[in-house]
Amino acid sequence: MRPTFKLALPAQQFLTEYWQKKPLVMRQVASGLDHPDADTLSGLSLESDVDSRLITGHGDGPWNLQHGPFDENDFRVLPRENWTLLVQSVDCFLTEVSMLLDHFSFLPAWRLEDIMISYASRGGSVGPHFDRYDVFLMQAKGQRRWKIGDHCNPHTPLQENDQLKLINNMKVRDEYVLSPGDVLYLPPGVAHWGIAEDSDCITWSVGFRAPSPVDILGRLADQAAESGGDTLFTDPDRTVPSDAASLQPADIEALTRQAFRALTPDIQRRALAELLSEPSCPSGLDFDVDHDHIAAASPDALLVRHGATRLILDDQGDAWLNGNHWPLTEAAKPLIRLLAGQRLYTEAELQPVTHDDGQDLLDEWIEAGYFAYLDFSTDE
C-alpha cells in the first residue's frame, strides 16, 4: 500500500485558518504508512549517509542524545522503555515513503523539506520542545500522546541540556492521543511533547523548507557574481558633504539600492530555483534500499521519481533538478511538467506527452538514477 493523506477540510480553509497559525488534529486522514517497520528504520540508522539520532529519557530527565550512524550493539544495550530512534529524510532513501508528498499539492513543491520517521518504545519521546518549521505529525503505528503548549520564541526558557533544546516547565494547553491514520499539524514555534503510549510507536513527520533571508541573500550574491555583473557604484547627483569623514545614511541607502538593482529577475530566478531544488539529503541516489521493487522488465513496473530527486519548474518552464538547471525545448515541456507534478506515472499518463526531446531527457534521467521503474504489484 502506498502512503496517502487527505486534509480533513478544504485546502484553502486549512491555509487560511491553520497554516502557520494554529495546531490542528485530523482523525483518520492518512493510510498506507506501514512501511518502513522498526527493523528497516534501525537498518537505515546503521548507514553512514543517513542522519539519525537516539534519544533516551522521560519526565524531568535526565535526557541523552546520541547521533548515528549506529551499530547493532547500540540497539542491544537499550533499556526496554523511554527511548526513540529518529531517522531524517527517509523519503530520500525509501522512494515509496516519498510518494506521500504527492498528497501535499495544496502547497508548492519547493516548500516541502523531508519526511523524518521516529520509532519509539513505550514512554519514548524527544522531550518538550518547539520546531522552527511547520510539521505534519502522522501516526503510523501504535499510539502517541501529544501535549501541546504555547507559541514559543527565542526567549522561551530552556532546560540545561542545550543539545536537545528542551523547554523548561512547558505549560500544557491541549492533549490528544493519536492512533494510526491520525495527523497533527503544528505551525512553527508551538511547544509540543509527544510520548509513545505503546512499545511499538512509529510517527512520520513531514517537515517544510523555510530558507532564511541570510541563505537567500547569499545565493543571490553568488548568482550575481556568476552572472558577471561588473557595474560599479555611481553618484552623479552628489552634493558637497557636511561631514566628509562619515558614511551618511543617504549613501548607505544609495549603495544598498544599487546592489539590489543588480539582482535582475533572471538572477533572482536562477538563485532561488537552484537553492530550492537542492535535495534535503547530500547523497542517496541509490536504489539499493528499494531493491525488492526494482523490476524494469516487469509488466507491472511503473515509472517513479527517485525519493532523492527534487524537481521543480521555474516561471520560464525550465526544469531544476537537484540544484541543476535543465533548459527545456517546447517539445519536452509537457512531459517534464508531468514529471514535476507527481512522483508516480502510468503509461496512460506518459504516452500522450512523451515526444522525442522529452523522451531523450527522460532516458538520460533514468540512466542517472533520478527516475526508475519500480514494481509495486507485490504489495498491493
CB of 89 to ligand SIN, least distance (A): 14
Q: CB-hemisphere CA count at 13 Å for 133?
A: 16
Interface residue with ligand SIN, options 36, 123, 194, 307 (CB under 6 A): 194
Indicate the residue among 93 and 204 with the shorter CB distance to ligand SIN. 204
CB of 126 to ligand SIN, least distance (A): 5
Q: Does residue 118 touch ligand SIN according to CB under 6 A?
A: yes
Query: Are 378 and 299 in contact, with CB atoms under 8 Å apart?
Result: no
Distance CA(348)–CA(373), nearest Å, equals 15
Binding residues for ligand SIN, rule CB under 6 A, total 10
Indicate the residue among 40 and 203 with the shorter CB distance to ligand SIN. 203
Q: Does residue 95 touch ligand SIN according to CB under 6 A?
A: no
CB of 368 to Co ion, least distance (A): 35
Q: Closest CB to ligand SIN belongs to which residue?
A: 118
Q: Does residue 91 touch Co ion according to CB under 5 A?
A: no
What mask of x and - would describe binding to Co ion in positions 131 to 160, judged by CB under 5 A? x-----------------------------
Interface residue with ligand SIN, options 40, 82, 159, 203 (CB under 6 A): 203
Residue 172 zone, left/alpha/beta (φ > 0; ψ -120 to 50; rest): beta
Indicate the residue among 30 and 272 with the shorter CB distance to ligand SIN. 30
Q: Does residue 52 touch ligand SIN according to CB under 6 A?
A: no
Q: Does residue 84 touch ligand SIN according to CB under 6 A?
A: yes
| Identity of the amino acid at 299 | P
Stretch of residues binding ligand SIN (CB under 6 A), selected from 1-9, 40-48, 118-126, 318-326 = 118-126
Whether the upstream peptide bond of residue 62 has omega within 30° of 0, thus cis, is yes
CB of 139 to ligand SIN, least distance (A): 10
User: Using the 8-state DSSP alphabet, how is residue 343 labeled?
Assistant: S
Four-CA torsion 240, 243, 245, 246, nearest 10 degrees: -100
CB of 130 to Co ion, least distance (A): 7
Q: Which three cell numbers mark 251? A: 549613501
Q: Does residue 131 touch ligand SIN according to CB under 6 A?
A: yes
Interface residue with ligand SIN, options 97, 99, 115, 126 (CB under 6 A): 126
SS in 3 state form for 175-228?
EEEECCCCEEEECCCEEEEEEECCCCEEEEEEEECCCCHHHHHHHHHHHHHHCC
Query: Are 36 and 3 in contact, with CB atoms under 8 Å apart?
Result: no
Query: Are 140 and 192 in contact, with CB atoms under 8 Å apart?
Result: no
CB of 34 to Co ion, least distance (A): 23
Distance CA(184)–CA(170), nearest Å, equals 19
Distance CA(333)–CA(86), nearest Å, equals 39
Residues at the contact surface with ligand SIN, assessed by CB under 6 A: 84, 118, 120, 126, 131, 135, 192, 194, 203, 205
